[in-house]
A = this chain, B = another copy of it.
Amino acid sequence: MAREQTRAEVRRERILEAALAVFARRGYREAAMDEIAVESDTSKGGVYFHFPNKQAIFLALLDRMAALLMARAEAAIAAETDPLAKIDAALRVVLDTFADHRSLARLFLVDALGAGREFNAKMMEIHRAFAGLIARHLDEGIRRGDFPPIDSRVAGLALFGAINEVVTDWLLDPDPPPLERAYPALRALLRRSVGMPAE
């Protein structure tokens, strides 16, 4: 039976939350453990009791955010049956999630990539997870004859990258237009790229 969270778990959670805020505010390199400790209402030693080092905290956050986004995308996809509707749904979820959490998205898409080579492996894993999700649905569409055949690994990456870039551009723009505005064009492009009519 799931007991109440132990005190340790609560503390751990508080640290993660604080770290997310600090990383989002400062970026990975600029974030100081001191600040995370203060923001989580703990001592520096306390933080190190729960996490072996700074990297581990960041990694934990990456994992958690990736899992969340994946789960949302999967759910949205599962709720639809039509392959085109699935594409639409997933795209919408991703765009909405990022639009709602700008600084988080920035951390995830921009800072994490260059946070240091130690993160490269993890980032590859995450990117591949998303690209793989797309690829799996492509494969299924291809199998069912909805889409013409294509190297789904590369295609998955490419489609993921296409969305990524549009979001990233929006992230780096100091005075960005609403992200939704990119939706129709992106949708048309993605559809056509898999052999469907834009509309």
Q: Which residues of A are interface residues toward B (Cβ below 8 A)?
A: 27-30, 110-117, 120-121, 123-124, 127-128, 131, 148, 150-151, 154-155, 157-166, 168-169, 172-174, 182, 184-186, 188-190, 192-195, 198
Contact = CB atoms under 8 A, between A and B. Distances in A.
A59 to B, nearest CB: 15
Contacts of A112: 114
Contacts of A27: 114, 116-117
Contacts of A188: 150
A30 B117 CA distance: 10
B172 A186 contact: no
Contacts of A28: 114
Nearest to A27: B117
B172 A121 contact: yes
Contacts of A155: 185, 189
Nearest to A153: B185
A110 B116 contact: no
A127 B29 contact: no
User: What 3 A-B pairs have minimum CB-CB distances, sorted nearest first?
Assistant: A114-B114, A161-B165, A151-B185
A169 B131 contact: yes
Contacts of A121: 172, 174
A33 to B, nearest CB: 14
A26 to B, nearest CB: 9
Nearest to A187: B154
A157 B169 contact: yes
27 contacts: A27-B114, A29-B114, A111-B113, A112-B114, A113-B113, A121-B172, A121-B174, A124-B172, A124-B173, A127-B169, A127-B172, A131-B169, A150-B189, A150-B198, A151-B184, A154-B186, A154-B189, A155-B189, A157-B162, A158-B163, A159-B162, A161-B164, A161-B168, A162-B162, A164-B165, A165-B165, A192-B194
